[in-house]
Amino acid sequence: MNSDFENGIVILGAGNVATHLSIALKKAGFLIKCVYSKTIPAAKTLALKVDSHYTNEINQIPVEADLYIIAVKDEIIEEIIKHIKLKYGVIVHTAGSISIDVFKGRFKNYGVFYPLQTFSISRNIDFSNIPICIESSNKVLENKLSNLANSLSNSVHLINSKERKWLHLSAVFASNFANHMYSQASEILSQSGVSFDLLKPLITETAQKAIDNDPIKAQTGPAIRNDQNVINKHLEMLKNNPEFEKIYRILSDSIFTLNQKKENK
């Protein structure tokens, strides 16, 4: 392991990102000095997993750690930054949509350590292929944070705040919205008595196709063929569910429009 942060790491937060990141750091040999969370049971649960102290009082956080990782909900980040005290350590946040400038004027060495993945506490995750996006207040720190990231993952990237906010927005489409399409498929099937299991090979292959090729080129189905016959049948089937009907219509139009745009290029 590298020795940049040997005086230990403080984790602020005990949610999905905080949990998976702490466990990965612990596994990589780093010392987790303290877990902070407003809710003691959450702090304690994570602290036990990574062999750490814990607290729900921000002024009880040790001031002599080498690294402070803020992994809380976006809207609490500024609040934490206002109240946290540290002697010489580095402070980073893990948020896709928050600029590095949130630290400006308050700290000397600060940065962003953004693991681009969808995390759930109950789900094991292999950090080694998760892209970690690094941004830093200075070059020396950039190297240190890159080394830290390299000890967790083979996919480390220097991404500035502007790039990161576009990356985060695109991730909402590729993950949250794609998952919502699975949810809607599940809702549709639950009314027909057919098992969602039948869709699983299709979901896997659709994702794999988009990864192996360009998703725009990989598109299939009635919308890209502009098969109005099938589209109208589907809209008719959804007429008792105006929300799903609207989404079906808008996305079918959008698939066709994007395809036209690409073909005309």
Positions in 109-168 near a second copy (CB under 8 A): 116-120, 123, 125, 129-131, 133, 155, 157, 159, 162-163, 165-167
205 binds a second copy (CB under 8 A): yes
Q: Which two tokens stand for residue 92?
A: 């980073």
Using CA atoms, how far apart are residues 136 and 159, in angstroms rounded to an integer?
Answer: 10
247 binds a second copy (CB under 8 A): yes
Residues 35, 14: contact at Cβ < 8 Å? yes
Using CA atoms, how far apart are residues 41 and 54, in angstroms rounded to an integer?
Answer: 10
Residue from 23, 31, 100, 210 binding a second copy (CB under 8 A): 210
Residues 7, 66: contact at Cβ < 8 Å? yes
Binding residues for a second copy restricted to 59-118, rule: CB under 8 A = 73-75, 97, 116-118
Using CA atoms, how far apart are residues 148 and 1, in angstroms rounded to an integer?
Answer: 9
Q: Give the dihedral sign, CA 161/166/167/171.
A: positive
Q: Which is nearer to a second copy, 58 or 258 (CB)?
A: 258
Using CA atoms, how far apart are residues 249 and 254, in angstroms rounded to an integer?
Answer: 9
260 binds a second copy (CB under 8 A): no
Q: Which is nearer to a second copy, 7 or 161 (CB)?
A: 161
Residue from 19, 136, 151, 219 binding a second copy (CB under 8 A): 219
How many amino acids of this chain bind a second copy (CB under 8 A)?
93
Stretch that binds a second copy, among 27-35, 56-64, 102-110, 239-247 (CB under 8 A): 239-247
Q: Which residue has the tokens 């008719």?
A: 236
- Amino acid at site 160: N
Binding residues for a second copy restricted to 24-53, rule: CB under 8 A = none
Among the listed residues 58, 88, 53, the one whose alpha carbon sits nearest the alpha carbon of residue 70:
58
User: Which parts of the chain are beta strand (E)?
Assistant: 9-12, 32-36, 53-55, 67-70, 90-93, 110-115, 132-136, 156-158
Degrees to nearest 5, angle at CA 96 with 10 and 94: 5
Using CA atoms, how far apart are residues 175 and 251, in angstroms rounded to an integer?
Answer: 16
Nearest approach in angstroms of CB 16 to a second copy is 7
Nearest approach in angstroms of CB 185 to a second copy is 4
Nearest approach in angstroms of CB 56 to a second copy is 21
Q: Which is nearer to a second copy, 51 or 236 (CB)?
A: 236
Residue from 221, 240, 260, 263 binding a second copy (CB under 8 A): 221
Stretch that binds a second copy, among 18-26, 27-35, 103-111, 186-194 (CB under 8 A): 186-194
Q: Which two tokens stand for residue 115?
A: 């693991």
Nearest approach in angstroms of CB 83 to a second copy is 20
Residue from 3, 87, 211, 239 binding a second copy (CB under 8 A): 211
Stretch that binds a second copy, among 49-57, 135-143, 144-152, 215-223 (CB under 8 A): 215-223
